């Protein structure tokens, strides 16, 4: 079974530029999560999708971050404009929550450096 | 909101020794407690989990214990090996929100 795919693996941009990350969850997983992991900390949830609907985006800085999952499968996370403090690893995870499974499977992440 | 504290932040053991990492949480409605291992450049990988109706779970060299009354749970790794070296995260899922809240992580170093 293929895991959660993310791209790109690394991205370096200057502040005030925009950037987008892509995630393809495990096939059949209805729930998709985006996390931000700052160096030396645990992952922090940014947004959770159930199919193509948003379940929780309470921690998403909506003035600069946006995310979509239009067809209920893959998803994109965008930052515009980026700030220095956005430097982090952005992790995507998915789970088969409709099957009652709480387990979240993570991708390898995208490491973003904002200069 | 839920608060998860993880200790210690770093742990160094000799190969073959045991390692114990502890987490405490605040939300009594929490019902699921996973442990993740994260190696350099990779995403977190689930190594063991426990649900609130179970006090202990074991999988080969790894075990997790849960004390719901005291609101803490622990990861136990026996007969540690160099490949166990990684960052370990505990997490707590609230039955109210369904969100996973992660601890701050423990860097485990196993010296050969």
> Buried (b) or exposed (e) across B99-108, using 16+ Cβ within 10 A?
bbbbbbbbeb
Query: Is residue A1 pLDDT above 70, yes or no?
Result: no
Q: What is the pLDDT of residues A36-54, one digit of tens each?
A: 999 999 999 999 999 889 9
Query: Is residue A99 pLDDT above 80, yes or no?
Result: no
B46 contact residues in A (CB cutoff 8 A):
103-105
**Mean pLDDT within A1-25:** 95
Query: Is residue A100 pLDDT above 70, yes or no?
Result: no
Residue B50 contacts A where some CB pair is shorter than 8 Å: no
DSSP-derived secondary structure letter, B95: T
Higher pLDDT, A2 or B111: B111
Q: Which residue has the tokens 């999708």?
A: A49
Q: B58 with B45: CB under 8 angstroms? A: no
User: What is the full per-residue pLDDT of chain B (112 aa) written as tens digits?
Assistant: 778 999 999 999 999 999 999 999 999 889 899 999 999 999 999 999 999 888 999 999 999 999 999 999 999 999 999 999 999 999 999 877 788 999 999 999 999 9
Q: Tell me the residues of A at the B interface, defined by beta carbons under 8 Å apart.
A: 4, 40-45, 48, 55-56, 91, 93, 97, 102-109
What pLDDT does B79 receive? 98
Q: Which two tokens stand for residue A32?
A: 């998709």
B41 contact residues in A (CB cutoff 8 A):
108
Query: Is residue A76 pLDDT above 80, yes or no?
Result: yes
Q: B109 with B86: CB under 8 angstroms? A: no
Is B89 in Cβ contact with A42 (below 8 Å)?
A: yes
């Amino acid at each position: 079974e293929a895991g959660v795919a993310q791209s790109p693996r690394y991205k370096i941009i200057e502040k005030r530029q925009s950037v987008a990350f892509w995630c393809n969850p495990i096939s059949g997983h209805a729930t998709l999560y985006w996390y931000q992991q700052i160096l030396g900390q645990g992952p922090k949830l940014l947004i959770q999708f159930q199919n193509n609907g948003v379940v929780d985006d309470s921690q998403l800085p909506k003035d600069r971050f946006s995310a979509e999952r239009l067809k209920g499968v893959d998803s994109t996370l965008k930052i515009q404009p980026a700030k220095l403090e956005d430097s982090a690893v952005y992790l995507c995870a998915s789970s088969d929550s409709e099957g009652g499974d709480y387990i979240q499977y993570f991708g390898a992440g995208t490491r973003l450096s904002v200069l | 909101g839920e608060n998860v504290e993880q200790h210690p932040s770093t742990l160094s053991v000799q190969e073959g020794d045991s390692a114990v990492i502890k987490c405490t949480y605040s939300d009594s409605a929490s019902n699921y407690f996973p442990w993740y291992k994260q190696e350099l450049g990779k995403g977190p990988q689930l190594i063991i989990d426990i649900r609130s109706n179970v006090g202990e779970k074991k999988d080969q060299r790894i075990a997790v214990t849960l004390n719901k009354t005291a609101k803490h749970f622990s990861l136990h790794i026996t007969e540690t090996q160099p490949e166990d070296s990684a960052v370990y995260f505990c997490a707590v899922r609230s039955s109210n929100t369904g969100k996973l809240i992660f601890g701050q992580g423990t860097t485990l170093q196993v010296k050969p």
